[in-house]
Amino acid sequence: MSSYNFSAGPGVLPSSVIKQIREDLEKEENSHYSILEISHRSSQFDGIIHHAEERLRQLMDIPDDYAVLFIQGGGALQFEMLPLNLANQKNKIAVLDSGNFANKAAKAAQEVGKEATIVASSKPDHYRSLPKLPADFAAADYDYLHITTNNTIEGSTYHQENLPKTPGHLVADMSSNILAEPYDVSDFSAIFAGAQKNLGPAGVTLAIVKKDWLAEQKIEGVGPMMRYQSYIDKDSMYNTPPVFSIYALSLVLDWVFEQGGVKQLYLNNQKKAKRLYDYLDQSDFYQVPVCGQQRSLTNVVFTTGDNDLDRKISWQADQEGLHNLAGHRSVGGFRASLYNAQPMTAVEALITFLQKAEREHKS
Ligand SMILES: *Cc1c(COP(=O)(O)O)cnc(C)c1O
């Protein structure tokens, strides 16, 4: 029986990358040390981290005036680092509340002493749609506008074509769709993403920060580990970086490149998502809460409308090798994560299973 992992994160990795890691661990280099045992000051790791940065710059077409940083602490730490480093003129940020993670970011900014204003929210609509930036949004009142490009839990996305337009600084949490679809980096002043959704194993988080903007900030009362500048000054090695996670990330980035880059993966992802959404839309047994262009390519959220039945079907799916399909505990239902490394065969197997479940449970 084949087995597929639909987990939202940590998520599926390319099988060739897993194979490479296994081989690298077994291979004795001249040094006789594996990647798990090497110093971050070794020339071997220096090559890896620089290669990862260069590959990412190439894949996302990141302009030279942006720093690319490797940080620990996940997306959640970025919810605090961003306001501490980049909200020092007005001490105020604006947030588009498109889901659970946007909401968390707003709360974290408040916790670190900044004022976070929700300028629009789709919470009253149970996050089935994306909030729209109000036409009278006063960008000059805030240090930046925080958005979540892909709402991992709710299954909605601001794609490049429907990004909110602000004359001020735009900051994006791309944790669950970075490299899954193209974005123009120069539309943003900062981007961050935890690796464990689409880039590698857990343990490392990317931050891409416009250097001029950071240089304008007067940062006070913030220790070195929480300052982007420390990571810039020390090539992300102010302290010991997550060596293994960065190594695995560099392999995933090479894999993305070999697949044909973001453009090609975007085409693949559109095909996978369309195949699943088309099936769900023609079925009168399953419903997709998010509509049209706002739908996510990487996290497909759906339900039968009956929580107990959803749970039962997820359990049956698991028995048949289709793992981690249950929706986030806060929303229930199903969530099929179709990250870059998810093959089309997984989508086909899922649809075959869902058809069977529909026949079995439809009254
Ligand atoms: C997973 C996720 C986070 C949180 O990431 P952690 O690494 O667990 O802190 C933040 N934002 C989005 C959009 C996510 O999907």
Residues 225 and 311 reside in one and the same domain: no
pLDDT at 117: 98
pLDDT at 270: 98
Would you say residue 118 lies in a domain? Answer: yes
CA 167, 293, 155, 185 torsion-angle sign: negative
What CATH number should be reported for the domain holding residue 24? 3.40.640.10
Residues 231 and 111 reside in one and the same domain: yes
φ and ψ at residue 252, rounded to 5 degrees? -65, -40
Residues 242 and 326 reside in one and the same domain: no
Residue 192 annotated as binding site:
no
First to last CA, the chain: 29
Closest ligand 1 atom to Cα of 79: 10
Question: Which of 258, 275, 301 is the endpoint of a domain?
Answer: 258
260 contacts: CB under 8 Å, gap ≥ 6: none
Would you say residue 8 lies in a domain? Answer: no
Q: By three-state DSSP, how is residue 185 classified?
A: helix
Would you say residue 7 lies in a domain? Answer: no
Query: Taking the mean position of all CA atoms in its chain, how far away is CA 107?
Result: 19
pLDDT at 31: 61
Quick: pLDDT tens for 179-221: 999 999 999 999 999 999 999 999 999 999 999 999 999 999 9
pTM of the shown model: 0.97
pLDDT at 195: 97
Distances (CA, A) of 21 to 6, 10, 27, 159: 21, 17, 10, 33
- Alpha-carbon distance 199 to 231, whole Å? 20
Distance 148 CA to ligand 1 centre (A): 10
Residues 164 and 283 reside in one and the same domain: no
Q: Which residues line ligand 1 (CB under 6 A)?
A: 9, 74-76, 101, 148, 152, 173, 175-176, 194, 197
Q: Kindly report the CA angle at 124 between 287 and 82, in degrees rounded to 5?
A: 105
Would you say residue 159 lies in a domain? Answer: yes
Quick: pLDDT tens for 112-139: 999 999 999 999 999 999 999 999 999 9
Query: Can you give the residue range of the structural domain that contains 131?
Result: 15-258
Residues 230 and 272 reside in one and the same domain: no
pLDDT at 190: 98
Distance 105 CA to ligand 1 centre (A): 10
Distances (CA, A) of 43 to 22, 37, 250: 21, 13, 15
Residues 212 and 303 reside in one and the same domain: no
Name residues of the chain where pLDDT drops below 50: none
